[in-house]
Amino acid sequence: MDDDEIDAREAARNRRRDRDAAAEARALMRPGMGKVFKQIQDVQRRVADDEAPAPAPPRKRRGARAPR
């Protein structure tokens, strides 16, 4: 189905959907939203740090001499 074949009501609905999606993207660019963006990143970083694998145990050194 091409754009020429779309019903007028369907075309209007598509334009509203696209306009609403663009409005959400523009809303994040408003002054003061940088703080919100940073808060989101901080939470994501905290979650990622909590899910990080446990550090590997220390490995034995090569060439270490055994006590006599």
Q: pLDDT tens, 12-26?
A: 999 999 999 898 888
Q: How far apart are CA 32 and CA 28, in angstroms?
A: 9
> Which residue in the block uniquely carries the two structure tokens 């970083």?
45
Cα–Cα distance for residue pair 68/65, rounded to 1 Å? 9
CA pair distance 37, 66, nearest whole angstrom: 55
What are the pLDDT tens digits along the chain (68 aa)? Answer: 555 688 999 999 999 999 998 988 888 778 887 888 899 999 999 998 887 677 778 887 776 666 66
- State how far the Cα of 38 lies from the Cα of 44, in Å rounded to an integer: 10
Which pTM does this prediction carry?
0.35
> What's the chain's average pLDDT?
82
